[in-house]
Structure 1
Amino acid sequence: MRQRWLVVWSAQAEQREQAVLHKRVEKERQAAENAWRRRCRRAFASQEEAEATVEAQAKHYRCHRVEVHYRPVLHDEERGRPPAGAMPCRVGVCLEGALVAKAEAIAAARKRLGTFILATNELDERALPTEEMLWAYKGQGWDRSEVSAFSKTPGSLPIACF
């Protein structure tokens, strides 16, 4: 089905979505920090196992990444203090590092804020002009004169028509 699209930017929608984006990034940061602290407390049998765990965790987060360092840890066979001269029987790996925000991902998300698409099946622009299309959307339940005045304010501008 062919459609005609109108991409619209709204200052009010951008402000509202800015607050939602900030909350979402903050919530993701808290979840990522909690998961990272849990991973750092654990000793892994090998560096490959540790890398796989870090990769699996990284897939869950869009706006954050981990700068990780692998630290070798020596383990003894028995619990408690080892006897003098005893050699560790195995080497494990612990994670160290910090959680960092992905500035480019957050900037890309901010770039899309406040825009939305109006679509119509009316392909002829003479039958339904772009301005009428915007008025029909904004005029749902409003007086046409109020919508006309509102649509001429810089807070809501049609960006493009496809």
Structure 2
Amino acid sequence: MLLKIKGWAWGPLDFVVMWMLLAGAGFAYALLTRNTVPLAYRFATGLALVTCFLLVWINSAVGIIGSEENPANLLYAAVLFTGLIGAVIARFQSPGMSRALVATAIAQLLVPVIALLFHKHDFAPGLWQVFALNACFAALFATSAALFQRAARSSPALRETTAA
């Protein structure tokens, strides 16, 4: 690594993965909002993508439950999968996206519960801290759901044509 910063030891692969995450999120945002008018839809899409990006980044860098090697952290893939499948089923239209993000928020809240049942031996940084962080992510997904619902109400004529 060219930059010698204490506590920051990224290798070339880390930079490639980060670039792919950032470029993927930016590309997804551009693709999903290219034909949309409602500002609430754009904000909702951006918030959902930023939340997914942060979830992947934090989980892969240090892990949310215990260390990054803790198998309980693999449960977060189910959260992302829930959102992706819900978005595809909704065809990226505002009302369905709202429901998909509510399901994603619920899945986010279920992760520490399931992890506590099956992986309670490694629950660092602490039980309440893990539940609080998951609640923050769930709140971000729920806020995105509310914004999608607002987009659906604000322009009912456009709700069927968003991202079409």
TM-score by length of 2: 0.28
TM-score by length of 1: 0.28
Larger gyration radius, structure 1 or structure 2: 1
- Identify, as 1 or 2, the structure richer in helix: 2
- Identify, as 1 or 2, the structure richer in strand: 1
- Structure with more relative contact order (C-alpha pairs < 8 Å, separation 6 or more): 1
